[in-house]
Structure 1
Amino acid sequence: MLNRNGIYLIIALLAVFAGLHIGFAPEGHDGRTTMTTLLGGFAFLLMTVAIVLSTRLRAAEALFGGLDRMYQVHKYCGVIAGLLVLLHFLGVPKALPAGVSELEMSLVPSAPMGMVALILLVISLALTLNRKIPYHRWRLPHKAMGLVYLLVVGHFLLAPPIFFERFGPSGILLICTAVIGILSYLYSIAGKNRRLALEYTIESVNALERATEIVLKPVGDNLQHKSGQFAFVEVQGKGWDEPHPFTISSAPGEDRLRFTMKVLGDWTRKVREELKAGATVHVHGPYGRFDMASAGRKQIWLAGGIGLTPFLSAVREMKPGDGREIHLVYAARNSDDAIFLDELDKRAAELGNVTLVPLFSDEGNFARVDIMKTKLPDPLDSYDYFLCGPRPMVNALMKNLKAEGVGRTRIHTEAFEFR
């Protein structure tokens, strides 16, 4: 669930800038200039927030409720910044202010820099919002957004003083923000996260029904994770040049690290068909706050397909005597598609506090609230819910659970989308 503390901090930053910008506007500002430059400042601040969040700093996870939520905020900051830039461009006066030399501005072209940044920003947003573009083709152009950011910095630093007063209160705030944004960008392109990765070798690649499990043996330190967390997997070697996020399916404390991934696209298909034991893998993480241990005594874990993986890790970790009452609702097309079903059934019998509830769509049992009512012993609003699976299924369940009186704070989901 999204932690709103991070959102409140972003709003507070924008409010402080607005107060400084309006309260200490240059004497020559008219209302139009003040408002359009305010929109430009808002856009720049949101671009900076997006760049800072892209560094994947773990310290920021607590503010937003996990890296998955941070990436959601990163995306929306970028989209809103793009819209504000358009409004800024349409509203700002096109003629140079009185007393500004055209020759001087031709030597330090603030306006052309802003125009180029606007065009590149719009193109980048269009690529991001077009879900038909494969991830590996989208990723490199998206990384170039840092260059757009540098153009924007140059645009406002070189603007005439009537538009940007460098040593006014709001100007100093923007310059300080620019320093943070540039350092964050350099941190990202310098590969700091890569140097913090842990090295593994692939012990085995196991083909499952519509999924693949990879088992990793640590070369040095093993990843210290909690159930429900995920990590970025980066296979080393030619043709494997991009990290992909996957939920960790092994239990914390195991001497091997396991990931189970559904065969969805080119990369996961390549894993299944080409990846061999002995290959080197770098793992970045762990990330995420999908924490079943922090909820109440009565819990519903609802997994749709490969959404089983965080719950699989938790079931593998649990010991007999756990005081929670857990119903693991596992939705799949049929028993063949329900990977690890036998292991789950065996673990449920060993633990005693886990009730496995398979729902197979081929038999007419779907992951719907009306069907869950018939499968659960207590009223729906008496449970905490953890939902992981296809986005349409999760959205429908959230809507219907709220309609049944289940509070928003009792429904926990992963936002496992990174573009």
Structure 2
Amino acid sequence: MKSFKGILFIIIIMCSSALLWYFATPNETISVINKLSHMIAGLAITGFFLVFLLSTRMKFIERWFHGLEHVYVTHKYLAILSLGLVILHGQLQDMVPDWDEVRETHLTELAKDFGELAQNGFIALILIALFAKFLKYEHWRIIHRLLLIPYAFGLYHAYFSSRYDLLQPTPLGIFTASTATIGFMSALYMLTMYQDMRFKHTGKITGIRKIASSAVELELTLDKKLPYRNGQFIFLKIFQEGLEKASHPFSISGGDEQKIFITIKALGDFTKKVNALIQLNTSVAIEGPYGHLNFEAGNQQQLWVAGGVGITPFLSYLKSTPSNQDIELFYTYRGQDDAIHKDFLHDFAKNNPHFKVNFIDTTQMDRLSFEHYMVPADTSIFMCGPKKMVKRFAKQFKTHNRDADLNVEAFKFR
């Protein structure tokens, strides 16, 4: 199940920008190439406004895109598109006829310099961000915040080098001012206020349980209840010396709102340090919950697919009020160290006739595939795991089950 509200919103905003620039009247006659260059620049500014707005993790945005993973994918491609438009604008400006060149003043010279700084800044920061797998999460997050600087330069360039008077209350002027203000404030909010305003739920680590050689389950006792739905995840900050202070996403694997459980698998630098160093009574802060896996809203017949630590959102549902839904789970993992909560799943299946589990250890068995799997009618499919796995299985399911009720949560958030 997907929501197209988010994509429709972006299309409306970008089309509105293009139409406003197309029908706007410049201060004086300009060439067609210059008019096109201005329109491209306007679309770039609008694109970056949307990039910063999507980065705020506002709940209505998550609902419109039906999940933060879809927001982040859109955010990424919007940034690439906007950067391409910035570069195209620069190329078109070099083609503007001599008679159409703007008359140089101190403000326009400065605006031209700022335009070049904005373009170079966007190129450098976005290219670095695209190679996120080579960066620590904290460094990647800082680079994203620095995009505010070239954005500010770009806005100055747009206002003081444009052949359109953007300071007048025309439809184009109002649209540009509104989007520029929201974009700038969104970036400023993420840079200065997000950490203090959004992490309202605080508490301590009151339990630590080693569930595998490379996985640990934490019990978090909060100062006030955190309402959540089974299958959702949170962003967690751990305030302990030696651990990165940036927030990281983790699925809720159980709890009662006042006390919640999360499972952390040693997959990267941060999670490896948590597994090795985490201590009792460490202070934590939480933002969320997020996520759109809604098992209660699914059909009576359900098919679950989990990969590695992707089992955690399913555990939350199984540990809650017993359900009489008919569920078959395919749990794929690489080696016994990757199979977390396996004993719980085995015991649950043994004591619940409505639940069946299939364990697939890819070090001992063939890789799981649904290439020729026919999903029974009126079956809801829920998947959680690494992005590549989820994408591969989704394609396989859709091949023979075009109308399948498919609900997914993927890991990748940068």
Question: Is the shorter-chain TM-score for this pair beyond 0.5, marking a shared fold?
Answer: yes
Taking a change above 3 Å as real, the CA distance of residues 284 and 34 of structure 1, as seen in their structure-2 partners, is: same
Alignment of 1:281 with 2:248, yes or no, is no
Task: Give the aligned residue type for 2:44.
Answer: A
What residue is the counterpart of 1:247 in the other structure? 251
Question: Structure 2: how far apart are the matches of 1:356 and 1:245?
Answer: 26
Task: Kindly state the Cα deviation for residue 226 of structure 1 after the two structures are TM-superposed.
Answer: 0.8
Q: Counterpart in 2 of 1:36?
A: 37
* Aligned twin of 1:257: 260
* Corresponding position of 1:84: 85
Q: Aligned partners of 1:42 and 1:13: how far apart in 2?
A: 9
Contact in 2 for aligned 1:299/1:327 (Cα 8 Å): yes
1:66 is matched with 67
1:196 deviates by 3.5
* Corresponding residue for residue 50 of structure 1: 51
Provide, for residues 379-403 of structure 1, a one-character-per-residue CA deviation record: whole Å limited to 9, x for no partner.
4565221111222322221222111
Contact 1:229 1:286 in 2 (8 A): yes
- Change beyond 3 A, Cα 1:225–1:185: same
* Alpha-carbon shift at residue 323 of structure 1 (Å): 4.1
Match for residue 227 of structure 2 among 224, 229, 239: 224
CA contact (8 A) 2:385 2:410 kept: no
- Measure the CA separation in 2 of the matches of 1:370 and 1:417: 24
Could you tell me the TM-score, scaled by structure 1's length?
A: 0.90
Conserved? CA contact 1:205–1:272, under 8 Å: no
User: In the TM superposition, what whole-angstrom CA distance separates every residue of 1:252-290 from its partner, at most 9, and x where no partner exists?
Assistant: x25421111221111111101111101101111111112
Alignment of 1:300-315 (within 5 A): 300-315=303-318
- Distance between the aligned counterparts of 1:334 and 1:183, measured in 2? 47
Partner of 2:4: 4
Matched residue, 1:214? 218
* CA displacement, residues 180-237 of structure 1 (integer Å, 9 cap, x when unaligned): 112222322232453342111111232332322221111x102211111111111124
Find the counterpart in structure 2 of residue 189 from structure 1: 191
2:160 corresponds in structure 1 to: 158
Conservation of the 8 A alpha-carbon contact between 2:25 and 2:164: no
CA shift digits 1:318-348 (9 cap, x unpaired) = 41xx342111111123455421112122223
Task: Give, in whole Å, the separation in 2 of the partners of 1:42 and 1:297.
Answer: 46
Q: Which residue of 2 aligns with 1:25?
A: 25
Q: How does 1:98-247 map to 2 (within 5 A)?
A: 100-105=102-107, 109-130=110-131, 131-160=133-162, 162-163=163-164, 165-167=166-168, 168-197=170-199, 198-209=201-212, 210-218=214-222, 220-239=223-242, 240-247=244-251
Structure 2 residue matching 1:366: 3-state secondary structure? coil
Shift of 1:365: 4.3
CA shift at 1:134, angstroms? 2.6
1:109 alignment partner, SS class: helix
CA positional deviation for 1:47 = 0.7
> Any gaps of 5 or more consecutive residues in structure 2?
none
Verify the 8 A CA contact 2:226 2:257 in the aligned structure 1.
no
Partners of 2:165 and 2:124 lie apart in 1 by 26
- Does residue 390 of the first structure (1) align with residue 386 of the second (2)? yes
Distance 2:98 2:235 in 1: 49
Assess if the C-alpha contact under 8 Å between 1:323 and 1:353 holds in 2. yes
In structure 1, C-alpha distance between the alignment counterparts of 2:210 and 2:47, rounded to whole Å: 43
d(CA) in 1 for partners of 2:124, 2:157: 18
Q: 2:410 aligns with which of 403, 412, 415?
A: 415
SS in 1 for 2:221: strand
Deviates further, 89-98 or 142-151: 89-98
Q: Is the 8 A contact 1:213 1:260 kept in 2?
A: yes
- Residues 32-74 of structure 1, C-alpha deviations (whole Å, 9 max, x = no match): 1121111111111111111111111112221110222222221
Q: Distance in 1 between matches of 2:360 and 2:292?
A: 26
The residue type paired with residue 395 of structure 2 is K
Is the contact made by 1:3 and 1:65 (CA closer than 8 Å) also made in structure 2?
yes
Change in Cα spacing, 1:362 to 1:172, as seen in structure 2 (3 Å) is same
Q: Quick one: distance in 1 between partners of 2:384 and 2:331?
A: 10
TM-score by structure 2 length?
0.91
Cα 1:96–1:44 shift into 2, 3 Å: farther
Structure 2 counterpart SS, 1:200 = strand
- Counterparts of 2:164 and 2:410 in 1: how far apart (Å)? 40
Question: Alpha carbons of 1:177 and 1:336: their partners in 2 closer, same or farther (altered >3 Å)?
Answer: closer
1: distance between equivalents of 2:166 and 2:265? 53
**Unaligned stretches of 5+ residues in structure 1:** none
SS class of match (1:248)? strand
Please tell me whether the aligned partners of residues 331 and 358 of structure 1 are also in contact (alpha carbons under 8 angstroms).
yes
CA distance in 2 between partners of 1:99 and 1:382 (Å): 64
Counterparts in 2 of 1:310-349, with a 5 A limit? 310-319=313-322, 322-335=323-336, 337-349=338-350
Aligned Cα root-mean-square deviation (Å): 2.3
Residue identity matched to 1:246: F
Amino acid at match of 1:266: D
Bigger drift between 64-73 and 48-57 goes to 64-73
Q: Aligned partners of 1:193 and 1:291: how far apart in 2?
A: 28
State percent identity of aligned pairs. 28
Matched residues in 2 for 1:392 and 1:183: separation?
Answer: 34
Q: 2:125 and 2:397 mapped to 1: Cα distance?
A: 37
1: CA distance between counterparts of 2:216 and 2:264? 5
SS in 1 for 2:161: coil
Amino acid of the residue matched to residue 417 of structure 1? Answer: K
Aligned residues: 407
1:82 alignment partner AA: L
SS at match of 1:290: coil
CA distance in structure 1 between the aligned counterparts of 2:184 and 2:116, rounded to whole angstroms? 20
